[in-house]
Structure 1
């Protein structure tokens, strides 16, 4: 099973989980939404652990400083942040970009109400954050739109 919304919906509809388990399986109607919610929680928790380890910062000026000093490996920007503000920061050379979490979700990770800009240093759990965020990207409907996803 891949981290793809369409694949999950198709597997649930066609009863592929039962075939794989070789027994009857009751699949919840909101399986895909629950998977998305759990992936968000995992990414937020991992970013929070990086913050507590001193390997993550939030806020435009701090992120800009890390990017200039080449401390940042991952640039994180809220999907519902203003395009103008987000365009002023660019992804680190040979780094990664995560742009499909909401400002509220990033706020949870950084212990604030909302966060638009964040950065992660290399090492620690950064590679896990990137892996889990890619899984979330495959499941999330709204990765580039405006506003908060439903739910």
Structure 2
């Protein structure tokens, strides 16, 4: 990936560690998570505090060299969009038969060595998490980024506490999306969450 400069920190980083924004037709700042929207883009480090600083210091107007309107809650909007992006990947994996939910089904997927990602809802009980964590094989990522109601929407059913995503392309994309959420929220650095050993 190409390297770009953050308009706030002036650090040159890989595009994967940055957020791209474009200027809409009415002069408003538009997040471009997929990095595909037309027009001149400006880049901000993938961190909510740095994005809030960009809003506060009017860095977008300087970056676009034009009068630009910025929503004061832009960091919250981006956080929501990053989570929606990851949840849509979980939903796609479920529709493709590459994701499952429910303790028994997750336990089975982990036991067969098919899982790439183990998802626990943020409010999952420590006992249930511990039982499934014992089945983790090396290289399987454990994520607790989402609440049960978020996972409910992704799976199209209620009360999803534990889920797993099988190895494959969608799991890899989900890991990238999860890493971006963690970086944005300040939970981890660019290298991402630790794998199980």
TM-score band w.r.t. shorter chain: 0.7 to 0.9
State the number of aligned residues.
142
Corresponding position of 2:140? 95
Is residue 122 of structure 1 aligned with residue 167 of structure 2? yes
TM-score, normalised to structure 1's length? 0.86
Query: 1:140 offset after TM fit, Å?
Result: 4.0
Cα distance in structure 2, aligned partners of 1:114 and 1:20: 45
TM-score, normalised to structure 2's length? 0.67
- Extract unaligned runs of 5+ from structure 2: 1-43, 188-197
Corresponding position of 2:64? 21
Q: Which has the higher helix share?
A: 1
- Extract unaligned runs of 5+ from structure 1: 143-151
| CA RMSD, Structure 1 to Structure 2 (Å) | 1.7
Higher RCO (CA 8 Å, separation ≥ 6 residues):
1
Contact 1:108 1:114 in 2 (8 A): no
Corresponding position of 1:145? none
Structure with the greater alpha carbon radius of gyration: 2
Contact 2:47 2:186 in 1 (8 A): no
Q: Which has the higher strand share?
A: 2
Query: 1:137 offset after TM fit, Å?
Result: 2.1
